[in-house]
């Protein structure tokens, strides 16, 4: 159980780390950050609808589950929206550094709301992973206070998303079904926010929309379904640390596909993140069910 949950979380981090590849191609072909956000959640919702329907009927939610799905969908939409907005105010490396504080926020929220103390192993791994993330990011550039605040908020909202799924009855839903509901509600929230954006130009580039579709399949459908599967088997604290493979993957994509330089500082960061992943992957953990104290 634990090994399978660990594997799912690791694969989720790797899939999520491919987001910069698809995003750079899409926005380089003319998509704006907002249209890319819409394409990602809408395409994912459509794909998931066909996948879920091919496997059987769509599960009906109880009133409690519906409220929880609305909450996690709002949290996930807030994560994507605030992170993308932070890119317009501060360098992406700076934004990702603050966003990847989410393992700390998961631990803090678990303690505040569930009185669940982190293990010494988790604290050590969080320190190693976050130090590695900071070293891997290019943090050159100004620290616009609003940009820092929105990037940090994206980490808090993502931690809320992870912990809510782990601690609520949503962890009992089949991951594809849960992912379907989340993306349809995310699409609804983005459409409601569309008028606030003013006139949004729509690109006619097939390459741009194709990259957005690829990102939806890999980053949203695969990564999120794998993450939700892992949250049924391991704690949100452990999953959040394991998914720090995301920036590792992003750095490697930059090196091998975009021919970016790999500095000694980045290499040290990679080693620290991978070290934290290896430690957690081999450490024993109580089953997820034992962690869901309500």
Give the model confidence (pLDDT) of 61-86 as tens digits: 999 999 999 999 999 999 988 887 88
| pLDDT for 224 beyond 70 | yes
The dihedral formed by the CA atoms of 93, 24, 82 and 243, expressed in degrees to the nearest 10: -70
Residues 6+ apart with CB under 8 A from 147: 86, 88, 89, 90, 94, 95
Place 294 in a pLDDT band, splitting at 50, 70 and 90: very low
pLDDT at site 1:
64
Per-residue pLDDT reduced to its tens digit, 232-287: 999 898 999 999 888 888 888 878 887 877 889 889 999 999 999 888 887 665 44
Q: Rounded CA gap, 63 and 57, in Å?
A: 19
Using an 8 Å Cβ cutoff, are 122 and 241 in contact?
yes
Which residues does 105 contact at the CB level (< 8 Å), separation at least 6?
A: 155, 156, 158, 159, 160
String of b and e for 94-124 (b: at least 16 CB within 10 Å)?
bbbbbbbbbbbbbbebbeeebebebbebbee
Question: How many residues appear in the chain?
Answer: 294
Residue pLDDT, tens place only, 115-174: 888 889 889 999 999 999 888 876 665 568 898 899 899 999 999 999 999 999 898 899
Integer CA distances (angstroms), 238 to 15, 109, 245, 248, 291, in order = 18, 14, 12, 17, 12
C-alpha–C-alpha distance, residues 201 and 144, integer Å: 27
- How much of the chain, in percent, has pLDDT values that exceed 90? 52
Residue 3 binned pLDDT confidence (cut-offs 50, 70, 90): confident
Distance set, CA 117 to CA 1, 56, 121 (Å): 22, 40, 11
């Amino acid at each position: 159980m634990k090994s399978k949950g660990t594997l799912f979380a690791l694969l989720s981090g790797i899939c999520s780390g491919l987001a910069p590849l698809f995003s750079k191609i899409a926005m380089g072909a003319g998509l704006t950050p907002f249209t890319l956000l819409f394409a990602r959640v809408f395409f994912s919702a459509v794909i998931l609808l066909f996948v879920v329907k091919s496997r059987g009927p769509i599960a009906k939610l109880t009133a409690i589950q519906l409220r929880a799905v609305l909450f996690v969908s709002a949290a996930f939409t807030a994560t994507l929206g605030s992170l993308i907005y932070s890119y317009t105010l501060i360098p992406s490396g700076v934004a990702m550094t603050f966003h990847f504080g989410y393992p700390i926020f998961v631990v803090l929220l678990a303690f505040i709301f569930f009185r669940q103390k982190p293990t010494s192993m988790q604290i050590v791994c969080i320190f190693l992973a976050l130090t590695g993330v900071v070293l891997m990011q290019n943090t050159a550039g100004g620290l616009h206070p609003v940009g820092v605040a929105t990037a940090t908020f994206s980490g808090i909202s993502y931690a809320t998303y992870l912990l809510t799924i782990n601690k609520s009855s949503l962890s009992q839903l089949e991951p594809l079904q849960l992912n379907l509901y989340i993306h349809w509600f995310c699409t609804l929230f983005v459409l409601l926010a569309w008028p606030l954006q003013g006139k949004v130009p729509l690109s006619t580039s097939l390459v741009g929309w194709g990259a957005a579709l690829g990102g939806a399949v890999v980053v949203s459908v695969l990564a999120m379904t794998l993450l939700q599967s892992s949250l049924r088997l391991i704690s949100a604290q452990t999953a959040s640390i394991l998914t720090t493979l995301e920036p590792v993957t992003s750095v490697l994509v930059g090196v091998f596909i975009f021919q970016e330089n790999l500095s000694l500082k980045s290499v040290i960061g990679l080693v620290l993140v991978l070290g934290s992943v290896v430690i957690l992957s081999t450490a024993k953990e109580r089953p997820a069910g034992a962690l869901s104290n309500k």
